[in-house]
Amino acid sequence: MRVVLVGAPGAGKGTQAKYIAEHYEIPSISTGDIFRANIAEQSDLGKKAKAYMDAGDLVPDEVTIGIVRDRLAQGDTEPGFLLDGFPRTVRQAEALDDILSALDTPLDVVLELQVDDDEVVRRLSGRRTCRTCGHVWHVEFDPPSRDGVCDECGGELFQRDDDLPDTIRRRLEVYTEQTAPLVGFYDDAGLLRSIAAEGSVDDITTRAIDALELAAKS
């Protein structure tokens, strides 16, 4: 199974990527993980990515695409893979098609996790981060024993600027601007499957697997 997972910030991509990858026994590949691994290994691509990141700039497509190309050429992806965080644009999707064509491993399905904007704001704005150990709590889903105090280390909890409601809504606007064409691209290609990403984690995982199984049979 070769899968691309798309969805807005807060849609639960990271959680579902883990469970889907475990179900199919395939590697879950996120661009963030790839960047960190290449930077740790001090590969040529990792050095290029680090230079942009250290300068506060976005990593250019050609560097990101090169890193993904190298990762997908590794042996553990032969049974399949799940991509989380790539592609983000139509240009990247076209580059991914070229990569997979060269590897003779076409994409099977693009799974979109759909969630209401208000639900995303509720999920993300409830997060509280420990200033000391970095542990992330949630005022509703995973609250600490004492308000504002980390159970792990006793540190002070705070709300990151990224988790403020206005910031979240702006991130959602950017996501929609960037990703709507991508979703349309894969829909036109007949690869898109969409599921509701609300409810319990188990329910969402069941929907995801059912959608992937249906796609595999079609």
Positions marked catalytic: 13, 88, 127, 160, 171
Strand order through the sheet with 157-158 = 136-138, 127-130, 157-158
CA dihedral sign of residues 202, 205, 211, 214: negative
Coil, strand or helix: which one is 29?
strand
Q: Which residue has the tokens 């070769």?
A: 2
Residues paired with residue 136 on neighbouring β-strands, in sequence order = 129
d(Cα 171, Cα 168) in Å, to the nearest integer? 5
The angle formed by the CA atoms of residues 177, 116 and 61, to the nearest 5 degrees, is: 30
Residue 78: burial class (beta carbons within 10 Å; 0-12, 13-18, 19+) = exposed
The C-alpha atoms of residue 142 and residue 150 are separated, in whole angstroms, by 11
